Amino acid sequence: MYRKPTLILVSVLLGIAAAAADEITPAEAQLESLMAEYWDYVLAENPLAATRAGLKEYNDRMPSVTPADQARRLAAEQRFLARSRDLGRDSMSVTGQANAEVFEWVLEDSIGAYELNLSRIPFNTFSGFFMRALSASNGVRMESAADYEQYIARLADIPRYFDENLANMETGEATGFVLPRIVIDGVLPTLRAQLKDDPTASSFYAPFESMNSRVSADDQERLRAKAEQVIAERVMPAFARVADFLENEYDASTTLGAEQLDGGKPYYAFQIRRYTTIRDLGADEIHEIGLAEVERIKGEMLEIIDELGFEGGFEAFGEFLRTDPQFYAETAEELLKEAAYTAKRIDYKMPGFFGLLPRQSYGVIPVPEEIAPNYTTGAYYGAPLDGDVGGAYWVNTYALDQRPLYELPALTLHEAVPGHHHQNAIAAEMVGVPEFRKDLYFSAFGEGWALYTEKLGIEMDIYRTPYEHFGRLSYEMWRACRLVIDTGIHSKGWTREQAMAFLADNTSLSAGNVRAEVDRYISWPGQALAYKLGELRIWAMRRKAEETLGERFDLREFHDVLLRNGALPIAMLEAVVERYIDERLSAG
């Protein structure tokens, strides 16, 4: 189980120089070797992660997820954990002790997932095995004919990968661990959208539309023909097989809650720990925190309605926001341009709030058409540091009447800067840390930080109108509602209609977004809790630093302290801030 680190264990995380190589203890040298061995293991077991890390060696395959593979991984990770615990941490430098804390957290979490056999539910409305297949080309640098051949081989491996996931779902059927029917209905359009009459219209064919000039004309012609054949004869039939299985064969659950599944209570408790990285926090307590936050935020929203002189109350104001054309773009290009302009306004303000700025750039692009109908409002996707493109701030341009412009500032702060792009790019550019830490993502840290930056946008002077301020509050309310709805559905027996009504009654989210969000919470227990709980902890850290340090508090320095160590569990982040406060006080 995870152990809360002491302050000394995380002093290195404040940027203190690591001990020189000749001062590293034998135990720490063994840990470094063990972590390097683990990283090689991760890359070999997850070809898509290897691609993101810039390795070409595994670009010809998809992951393997058979029961034998999972049993082998469980045993391997148990051995990694036992070896780490046997190293004698007391003899390590603070660098080694801190790395060991993170390393063991990651292993314990992964082992817990294998022990619960979570592969029986291998997707949700937001991510999963077929979404990973749709990202098969992400990070693949295609510079030679051999690179294209590898990518085609990866496409040809998709049917095997899909069949293994379907077999795991059949095990889920046999053991009473299945997805609700509403989740299945939600993903079917995405699956069916991959079935094209012309394989060159598939997103899988995109790398062949404009091929690298280093590839000869003859090879280009041959590779294009081969790609068409594989997409038509292997990839699209694989998607059709998954869709047919889900629609006609899968024995989906008639209930919604995680705790209603066989073994559901330990499953939901694990999900809460996994996504919040907070120990001993149960569903009942989270539900009450959510209700209190909803009440507080509702009061601030009503103040804005009064400020605008709007007559009709909260519900009428929400309907006004959802239906008045002034708040909506008329074209996808207009929405993207507004998002891009908002992003550049924020970029301009970044140096005043952060001392550490990443080298990697980012761009604004639309959510791919084939997944947009059932996708969230926006997202962020990182990129390899040596890739051909930067990070991607995705904006959903489907159903423009569901994408209000007054929400764009909060969305952009969250997904781009200072939110996900800023934090992820800094983590990727860290030096002197084990490679596995550069690829880490803890939801409470990542999503908590991104939600924190939405409110930070007030100090950055990003919100220009009362409507944009209301949009930010609506987003904050949305995340507070998640605490109530996620626990309501998965622990208290709430219905889908009850959850949708609660979200619609307390936010200005459009009907389409309300539906998509609730279905996401149904399909992904616990994940939605990370945002608000993480944000509340980060604000508590900031308030403590401000109150303790007084005039010595530096906001830019505080932000850099939070981010420059990459992703951390909340307990370790709190210890980092405690150490920062102590050292600033000692410095006088």
Per-residue pLDDT tens digits for 345-375: 999 999 999 999 999 999 999 999 878 887 7
**Could you tell me the pLDDT band of residue 16, with boundaries at 50, 70 and 90?**
very low
pLDDT of residue 183: 94
Q: Where are the beta strands (DSSP E) in 216-273?
A: none
Give the model confidence (pLDDT) of 101-110 as tens digits.
999 999 999 9
What is the predicted pLDDT for the residue at 10? 34
Supply the pLDDT for residue 15.
Answer: 39
> Residue 497, class by beta-carbon neighbours within 10 Å (0-12 exposed, 13-18 middle, 19+ buried)?
exposed
Please report which confidence band the pLDDT of residue 436 belongs to, taking 50, 70 and 90 as the band edges.
confident
Q: 370 in a domain, yes or no?
A: yes
Q: Rounded to an integer, what distance in angstroms lies between the CA atom of residue 330 and that of residue 335?
A: 8
Q: How far apart are CA 50 and CA 24, in angstroms?
A: 29
Residue at token pair 């207009």? 334
Regarding predicted confidence, which is higher, 537 or 96?
A: 537
Residue with the bigger pLDDT between 11 and 576: it is: 576
Question: Of 514, 534, 554, which one is at a domain's C-terminal end?
Answer: 534
Residue 210 belongs to a domain = no
| Predicted local distance difference test score (pLDDT) of residue 4 | 30
Give the gyration radius of the chain's Cα atoms: 24
Q: For 388-419, how does the pLDDT look when each residue is reduced to its tens digit (9 = 90+)? A: 899 999 999 999 998 999 999 999 999 999 99
Which pLDDT score, from 0 to 100, does residue 22 have?
45
Across residues 429-444, what is the average pLDDT?
A: 88
Sorting pLDDT into bands at 50, 70 and 90, what band is 555?
Answer: very high
Q: Is 561 part of a structural domain of the chain?
A: no
Look at the chain and report how many structural domains it folds into.
2
Residue 577 lies in a domain: no
Which residues partner with 404 through β-bridges? Answer: 328
Residue 227 resides in a domain? no
71-107: pLDDT as tens digits: 999 999 999 999 999 998 888 887 788 899 999 999 9
Domain end residue (candidates: 116, 151, 171): 116
Tell me if 587 is assigned to some domain.
no
| Identity of the residue numbered 102 | V
Which range marks the domain in which residue 443 is found? 269-534
For the cut 90, the answer to whether the pLDDT of residue 42 exceeds it is yes
The pLDDT value given to residue 433? 87
Mean predicted lDDT score pLDDT of the chain: 92
Sheet (strand 378-381) strand order: 362-366, 391-395, 378-381
Has residue 471 been placed in a domain?
yes
Query: What would the mean pLDDT of 442-455 be, rounded to a whole number?
Result: 97
pLDDT one-digit tens code per residue, 154-179: 999 999 999 999 999 999 999 999 99
Output the pLDDT for position 375: 79
Taking Cα atoms as reference points, which of 413, 406, 528 lies closest to residue 474? 406
Residue 384, preceding bond cis, omega within 30 degrees?
no
- On whether residue 522 sits in a domain, the answer given is yes
Residue 79's pLDDT is 98
**Model's pTM, two decimal places?**
0.88
Domain boundary among 98, 116, 134: 116
Q: What percent of the chain has pLDDT above 90?
A: 82
Residue 12 has pLDDT above 60, yes or no: no
Q: How many other C-beta atoms are found inside a 10 Å radius of the C-beta of residue 343?
A: 23
- What are the tens digits of pLDDT across the range 46-59? 999 999 888 999 99
